[in-house]
Amino acid sequence: MYSKEQFAKMLDYTLLRPQATRQDVVRYCEEAKKHHFASVCVFPFWVPLVARQLAGSDVKTCTVIGYPFGANGRTVKLFEARYAITNGASELDIVMNISALKSGEMGIVERELSEILGSAHMQGMTADAKRTLIKIIIETAYLTDREKILASEIIRDSGADFIQTSTGTAPTGATVEDIRLIRNTVGPGVGVKAAGGIRDVEQALAMLNAGANRIGASNAVGIAEVYDPEIFLAESRR
């Protein structure tokens, strides 16, 4: 069972609503610092503000690249990644080119990931001597199990740090079955982030128990505040 501190450090506090305001972004940053979440994930536009708000804290600045469908051109994604790192992002959630994957264009998918990861890691090292953490979103709602395995294998071999299930914009989000499938495919060496539709602590724990080690949630505060390791440990023994 995780301590409250360990549990909070596995939560990405996500604010990807188009109607989010500057006040919302600042509030999310303050709440994230209070709870010591892993990161605050926002649109690229808000990266400079979030980086300033989180400066000196243990919470990372995270943003999305190629959001939400991964269908931007490769050079556009490269620019997005460089812009984000230059402006203070230390974690990138990059959407795989879903259309290319489903078309069987594995060479295109692999080349795109290779170039983006190489550029992001080099720029992160140049910027602050710390390698940028890279998560690749595969959007499981649109993939067959075979495609999920192929995507997971490509990401495992690419050198990315995490594979992420969802953007939160698809008809469905993370499922326990998908987390198990991805974890069995990538093994223990790659992180797995469950995201999309995770609204309560029971769902979060189910994902962690299935093999996830990061959770993306817009309700991270509500999840963290409800979590009590003693209560959940007692319930697990029943």
Q: Which domains does the chain have, with CATH numbers?
A: 4-236 (3.20.20.70)
Q: How far is CA 130 from CA 120, 124, 125, 192, 231, in A?
A: 11, 6, 5, 21, 38
DSSP single-letter state for residue 142: G
Q: What tokens were used for 114?
A: 């290779």
The C-alpha atoms of residue 61 and residue 137 are separated, in whole angstroms, by 17
**Phi, psi values for residue 19, rounded to 5°:** -90, 5
Q: What is the mean pLDDT of residues 126-138?
A: 78
Q: How confident is the model at residue 237 (pLDDT cuts 50, 70, 90)?
A: low
Q: What is the pTM of this model?
A: 0.94
Tell me the pLDDT tens digit for each residue of 42-99: 999 999 999 999 999 999 999 999 999 999 999 999 999 999 999 999 999 999 999 9
Tell me the pLDDT tens digit for each residue of 164-206: 999 999 999 999 999 999 999 999 999 999 999 999 999 999 9
Cα dihedral across residues 174, 144, 134, 95: positive or negative: negative
